[in-house]
Amino acid sequence: MKFNTKTIHAGITPDPSSGAIMTPIFQTSTYVQDAPGIHKGFAYGRTQNPTRHVLEANLAALENGVEAICFASGLAALDAILKTLHPGDEVITTNDLYGGSYRLMMRIFSNYNINFQFIGMDNVEKIQSFITDKTKMIWIETPTNPMLNIIDIQGVCNQVKGSNIKVCVDNTFASPYLQSPLDLGADIVMHSATKYLGGHSDVVHGIVVCKHPEDAEAIRFIQNAAGAVPGPQDCFLVLRGIKTLHIRVQRACENAKKIAEHLLNHPKVSKVYYPGFESHPNHHTAKSQMKDFGGMVSFDLVENSQEAAFMVLSNTHYFSLAESLGGVESLIGHPATMTHASIPKEERLKVGLTDSLIRLSVVLKTNNLSIKQWSEDDRPREKLLQKGKENLSDTELLAILLGSGSRGESAVDLSKRMLGDVDNSLNLLGKSNLTDLMKYKGIGEAKAITIAAALELGRRRQASDIDLTQKFTSSTEIFKVMSPYMSDLQVEEFWILLLNRSNRLIKKELISKGGVSETTVDVKVILKSAIDNLASAIVLLHNHPSGNLKPSTADLNITKKINEACKMMDVRLLDHIIIAEKKYFSFLDEGLINL
């Protein structure tokens, strides 16, 4: 039976009780028995489950093994394999290893006197110098995660042929479609079925497939005894994913090649790791033991820093920043802080896992477009770094605050739309409250707070640049001082400026705050402040959030009332200024104050 046919038919038959073509989900913990020990092959859910049984038969066929054993995760599968070892045993494994595997080996099993040697396996002959009489297992990842190093499976097996050393291969990155380790001489194959086998980012699962019955028996015992079994729903989802495995992986290979070739010529990329390049270490081994070169690509940036990597990670359109791989969505990740964070920095740097290394999982869609969009020289963050903040438009600066847009709309496009809605006025945008900002798709509370805070900082910076000791000689000078405080307000505020005999500022003071159309002003409060601060003159100011500069009847009346009170206290009322957005109205200039 050919591989593509196996994915759909191997180990799978219509349900005998109903004829259902899809294997049912047997959601049960136990099974009724006719008598003690007399049952239909299933006694308890941890030990057996019909859905799991079908999946295990299918997986054994895909990897050409005698038996497959399913687990709740890929690490649970690795855990079961390592539990076949005994204190004092040694394992030789690659120094370019998935961070979770490294953590399990070094933080858990090393505590039980099981020793691990991490070595480069680019030349399999080097393995011989590390083998001792205590060596019981060689653990291989190929392609490795995330450097995509290729290890000659058959070559490793030949190095230990005739010994009691087991060769185990993590085949997650290749999948059974591309690579068959058991056919190349390996004893055990492991998968994180969460990845390509499940293929839809909706299940966590692991499998072990054995070449020899005695290994299968030992792993099966651990499965039942330790109990790290998957649920029937998980098994059903993996069965569903396997039916399209060959189609998905082949498309991933085709698209990964396009992405890798594009990155290879990119001016901001220093190195690309992809087994399909003839320059890639052990490319010819990959060509001989794999059907194609896989859907994974890793690359380093010319600017080798975590900050540069994070800029790329936060500004992709069609790659989603997430852990894992092998789903129908294309994913981007930063191994140093994500999948391999548990590996000490000095160890990961030895194998080339730098701070700027980025890993791509390329799957169904053709992603050239997203990479090209990411790499345009005029992307806001890159443009700021290269040309300085003063060369960015308001749209680009706002896009940086947004960080990302929503599906179908980039941060730049969202910024254009937001500014367009306020006639491209930052002044009007500054009046937006959090609720207004959160009406835009892609802006949640956190982004809305960021935008509001940035606009408020801009307003305060403008205000802080004013020389408050200057002498006021005109309404224009007063407006320039107070406009940063009052132009963008959403409610009406009433302020006074207290001046000395030279018309220099003693103090500015907020008297009252009201609604969108008026505020209450107490004449006694104004006069008391003037007397307490020994002011010789005052200026009244209030804003009109409506944008209408024309003074209301109430404005005229309160001005007259305050002016009369000031004369009684020998305090001069110099002016009353109304501010609306970036304009003002002066009572003095319009002849409405009798000095």
Using the structure block, give the residue that is written with the tokens 């390049």.
277
Other beta carbons less than 10 A from residue 29's beta carbon? 8
Question: How many angstroms separate the CA atoms of 9 and 246, rounded?
Answer: 13
CB 79 within 8 A of CB 225: no
Q: Hey, which bits of 266-386 come out as E strands?
A: 269-273, 296-301, 320-321, 331-333, 358-361
The answer on 237 and 90 residing in a single domain is: yes
Residue 411 shares a structural domain with residue 512: no
Residue 486 makes CB contacts below 8 A (sequence gap 6+) with 493, 495, 541, 542, 543, 579
593 assigned to some structural domain:
no
* Token code pair at residue 256: 């990964």
Could you report the per-residue pLDDT of 99-124, keeping only the tens digit for each?
Answer: 999 999 999 999 999 999 999 999 99
Total length of the chain: 595
Take residue 350 and report the two structure tokens written for it. 């030895």
- Alpha carbons 142 and 126: distance in angstroms, whole number: 17
Residues 397 and 546 in one domain: no
- Strands in 188-192's sheet, in edge-to-edge order, are 67-71, 206-210, 188-192, 166-170, 135-141, 90-94, 115-119
Q: What Å distances lie between residue 264 and 260, 261, 307, 336, 354, CA to CA? A: 6, 5, 21, 21, 18
Do the domain assignments include residue 96?
yes
The CATH code of the domain that includes 500 is: 3.40.140.10
Q: Which of 89, 68, 71 is nearest to 79 (CA)?
A: 71
CA distances from 107 to 113, 117, 417 (A): 11, 14, 51
Among 208, 228, 244, give the residue marking a domain's end. 244
Question: Which of 371, 391, 414 delimits the end of a domain?
Answer: 371
**pLDDT tens figures, 440-456:** 988 988 889 999 899 88
Q: Report whether 565 contacts 515 (CB < 8 A).
A: no
> What is the Cα gyration radius of the chain?
36
Residues of the chain with pLDDT under 50: 367-378
DSSP state of 516: S
| 381 touches 400 (CB < 8 A) | yes
Where are the strands (E) in 29-156, listed by range? 67-71, 90-94, 115-119, 135-141
Amino acid at residue number 281: P
Cα→Cα distances 89→84, 106, 113, 212, 371, Å: 10, 14, 8, 21, 47
**Range of 459's domain?**
380-463
The span from the CA of 491 to the CA of 387, in Å, is 39
Q: Is the bond leading into 143 cis (omega within 30 degrees of zero)?
A: yes
Residues 328 and 403 in one domain: no
C-alpha to C-alpha distance for 576 and 529, rounded to whole angstroms: 17
Of the residues 244, 271, 291, the one at which a domain ends: 244
CATH number at residue 402: 1.10.150
Number of domains in the chain: 4
Only one residue has tokens 């499940």, namely 198
Do 506 and 579 have their domain in common?
yes
Select from 586, 592, 348 the least CA-distant residue to 475.
Answer: 586
- Which residues participate in catalysis according to the annotation? 46, 98, 170, 195
Is residue 531 helix, strand or coil? helix
Residues 315 and 371 sit within 8 Å (Cβ to Cβ): no
Query: Looking at the domain assignment, is residue 175 inside a domain?
Result: yes
The CATH number of residue 359's host domain is 3.90.1150.10
* 19 in a structural domain: yes
Handedness of CA 57, 59, 65, 67 (dihedral sign): negative
Residue 325 lies inside a defined structural domain of this protein:
yes
In a domain, 22, yes or no: yes
What's 62's domain CATH number? Answer: 3.40.640.10
Ramachandran sector of residue 451 (left: φ over 0; alpha: ψ -120 to 50; beta: rest):
alpha
Sheet holding 296-301, edge to edge: 269-273, 296-301, 358-361, 331-333, 320-321
What's the predicted TM-score (pTM) here?
Answer: 0.64
Beta bridge partners of 342: none
List the beta bridge partners of residue 73. Answer: none
Query: Does one domain contain both 205 and 304?
Result: no
- Closest to 89 measured CA to CA, from 104, 63, 109: 109
Instruction: Give the tokens for residue 404.
Output: 């990302």
**pLDDT value at residue 463:** 61
494 part of a folded domain? yes
Q: Which amino acid is at 59?
A: L
446 shares a domain with 393: yes
Q: Which phi-psi region, left, alpha or beta, contains residue 581 (left: φ > 0; alpha: ψ -120 to 50)?
A: left
Residue 594 lies in a domain: no
